[in-house]
Amino acid sequence: MLLITAWALPVGGAGAVAALVLLRLIGLVTHLVFYQRWDTSLAAPGQVHHPWWLVLGAPVAGGLVVGLMARYGSEKIRGHGMPEAIEAILTGGSRVAPKVAVLKPVSAAISIGTGGPFGAEGPIIMTGGAIGSMLAQLLHLTADERKTLLVSGAAAGMAATFNSPLAAVLLAVELLLFEWRPRSFVPVAASVAVATVCRGFLLGTGPVFPVPVPVTGLHLTAGTEALAVVTGLTGGALAVAATWLVYRAEDGFAKLPFHWMWWPAIGGAVIGLGGLVEPRALGVGYDVIDQLLTGRATVSLIIGILVVKTLIWSLSLGSGTSGGVLAPVFMIGGALGAWEGMLFPDIVPGFWAMCGLAAVVGGVMRSPLTGVVFTLELTHAWGALLPLLVSSTAAYALSALILKRSVLTEKIARRGLHLTREYSTDPLETFFVREVMHPTPVVLARDERVDEKLLVRLGPRPAGQRKPLYPVVGDEGLVGIVSDRDLREHITATSEFRVVGEIARPAPAPVRPHDTLRQVAYLFAEYGESSAPVLDEGCRVVGIITLPDLLHARLHDLTEEHHRQRILLTPSPEPRPVRSAQVG
């Protein structure tokens, strides 16, 4: 852990620099295309009037360039970054090609800078992850250690982009690591800390979207929380609709009778048409998010963003262009909350927009805690914690009930992979060997003869059961193991008399009564065994554990989940499996 943490520190610094470079690239392309000037500061299309042909043609040209880069550079630059990072972790041994670290930010800058309604966070996740992965590939590391450095780079880029260290760590845990262990959590947190410090020197330390009024002094009533539920449910419904649109669009593009290289250009045409209706829906849109969260957005802007941004983002994302999902989700959620804020009681400017933002993030990405913390770190509106939690959780619940998978995991499933985002304690980790082992195994002496008399003593093997394994002991304790099949085959194959010790094989690593079933499962997998003797501290055989015994933990977990009973009002509860029961 300490070694990987040490390597994660420079990855964090590199992730912060990569975030700065990407933001500057996006600003440069936007200024060159829409304002015909050389400037690297972030800007958005639509701040001045643009000719119709520029609004319509720029996204098409950008999509064409991205399609060419994907076909002749690397197909990994297609999409919004997070599914690609997840796929590299699940199937690629956390290996990312070096060219992705260059092509992904360049393609994203072209896509967003020419008007694409996407965010910078997806590409920076892939770029930062590629940096961590490349370093890991230069070192002599395991796949899990490479994963940790990949995620460290991805989280570092996220933290530096939004000045949101805690949200970046939560995003890493909820979406990328697939575990919560010190070996991965500590390096990721260290990388994020370095990236956040570096961001202070590169981009400043203030909140990205500061609210105009401190909300720490707000007096929120129960009615506020009830309305936050409404915002959460509507945000969840919007998240479901947007996710559905993304994959219906992807299905539609897949049916086109020409190469996918041309799809981003078609998506660009959709973007351009939307830009003719609402130019402010184009680009990364940080200025629009700021207006929504600070209560300065007009009604026409709110409605335009809510309708146009949702449509062009969902439809164009399905074309496989390069760009992230968070910033558009921020904008769409903020617009929904701002629209509802016209009907709800006034708390502070932008309060309901914050609730809508947290709700749509929780519903689209199925990351409710990330949605809450992101909103708080973006605005520093710490006093709004409870309503944000209510909104995000309500949206998450509705999305989980309606959709089988999120906008991220659906893409993974369509590539033939299975991914679960539900974390629970491994039942094998909660049971000890002594609770499920067979305490009175048949033990053979090393100098015992292998003959028919021995088989008579062992008795017939019951039909349908696995072939038993017998510990072989001598004066010094356990000396090996022998299977029922080995004994019978020896007697059938030869008339030569041998003792048990001569045909016994060495026992695998010792199993102790206080070992967990998870340790035993790993032991069986490593040595290819299906049973093993259990030894006490004095190396005496006290039991035997078999592969079916491990199912006891699963049975107990299944019973805990599905067995319903009334305890207080029932005189004698129905019997149920308990921890001391045995299986098989």
* Domains of the chain by residue range: 2-202, 215-414, 427-552
For residue 582, what pLDDT is reported? 46
Is 118's pLDDT higher than 70? yes
Q: Answer whether residue 51 shows pLDDT above 70.
A: yes
Give the tens place of pLDDT for each residue, 527-543: 887 788 888 887 788 88
pLDDT at residue 230, as a whole number: 94
- Look at residue 461 and tell me whether its pLDDT is greater than 70: no
- The third-level CATH classification (topology) of the domain covering 215-414 is Clc chloride channel (1.10.3080)
**Domain 427-552 CATH (choose: 3.40.50.300, 3.10.580.10, 3.40.190.10, 3.90.920.10):** 3.10.580.10
**Residue 193 pLDDT > 90, yes or no?**
yes
pLDDT tier for residue 197 given thresholds of 50, 70 and 90: very high
Residue 526 identity (one-letter amino acid): E
The CA distance from 118 to 432, in Å, is: 51
- Check residue 484 and give its pLDDT: 74
Band (pLDDT 50/70/90 cuts) for residue 564 is confident
Q: How far, in Å, CA of 438 to CA of 434, rounded? A: 8
- Which pTM was predicted? 0.80
**pLDDT for the residue 181:** 84
Per-residue pLDDT of 217-265, as tens digits, reads 566 676 888 899 999 999 999 999 988 888 888 888 888 888 889 989 9
What's the rounded Cα separation, in Å, for the pair 447 and 231? Answer: 77
Residue 573 confidence class, pLDDT cut points 50, 70, 90: low
Report the pLDDT value the prediction gives residue 537, as an integer from 0 to 100: 81
Contacts of 304 (CB under 8 A, 6+ apart): 277, 278, 280, 281
Q: What is the mean pLDDT of residues 74-90?
A: 71
Residue 575 confidence (pLDDT) above 80 = no
Q: Is 86 helix (H, G, I), strand (E, B) or coil?
A: helix
Mean pLDDT computed over every residue of the chain: 83
Beta strand pairing call for 477-483 and 541-546: unpaired
Contact 195, 159 (CB under 8 A): yes
Alpha-carbon span 104 to 118, nearest angstrom: 14
pLDDT at position 473 over 50? yes
Does position 190 have pLDDT exceeding 80, yes or no?
A: yes
Rounded to 10 degrees, what is the CA torsion of 66, 71, 73, 78?
50
Q: How far is CA 229 from the centre of its chain?
A: 26
Confidence of residue 413 (pLDDT cuts 50, 70, 90): low
- What whole-number distance in Å separates Cα of residue 311 and Cα of residue 307? 6
Give, to the nearest 10 degrees, the angle between helix 326-341 and helix 222-254. Answer: 140
Q: Does residue 58 register a pLDDT over 80?
A: yes
The answer to whether residue 553 scores a pLDDT higher than 50 is yes
| CATH 3.40.50.300 for domain 2-202 | no
Residue 570 has pLDDT above 90, yes or no: no
The mean per-residue pLDDT over the stretch 387-400 comes to 93
Greater model confidence, 166 or 570: 166
Q: How confident is the model at residue 80 (pLDDT cuts 50, 70, 90)?
A: low
- pLDDT value at 581 more than 50: no
pLDDT at 583: 44
| Amino acid of residue 579 | R
Whether 215-414 and 2-202 are alike in CATH topology: the answer is yes
Over residues 441-454, the pLDDT tens digits come to 778 887 888 777 77
Position 546 scores a pLDDT of 83
- Phi and psi based region of residue 215 (left: phi greater than 0; alpha: psi -120 to 50; beta: remaining): alpha
Joined together, the tokens standing for residue 287 give 């200025």
Q: What's the per-residue H, E or C state across 301-318?
A: HHHHHHHHHHHHHHHHHC
Distance of CA 174 to the CA centre of its chain: 5
pLDDT of residue 584: 40
The pLDDT of residue 81? 63
Within 8 A by CB and 6+ apart from 440, the residues are 543
The pLDDT of 70-91, averaged and rounded, is 74
Residue 574 pLDDT exceeds 50: yes
Q: Evaluate whether 340 touches 352 at the Cβ level (below 8 Å).
A: yes
The residue among 182, 196, 184 whose CA lies nearest residue 151 is 184
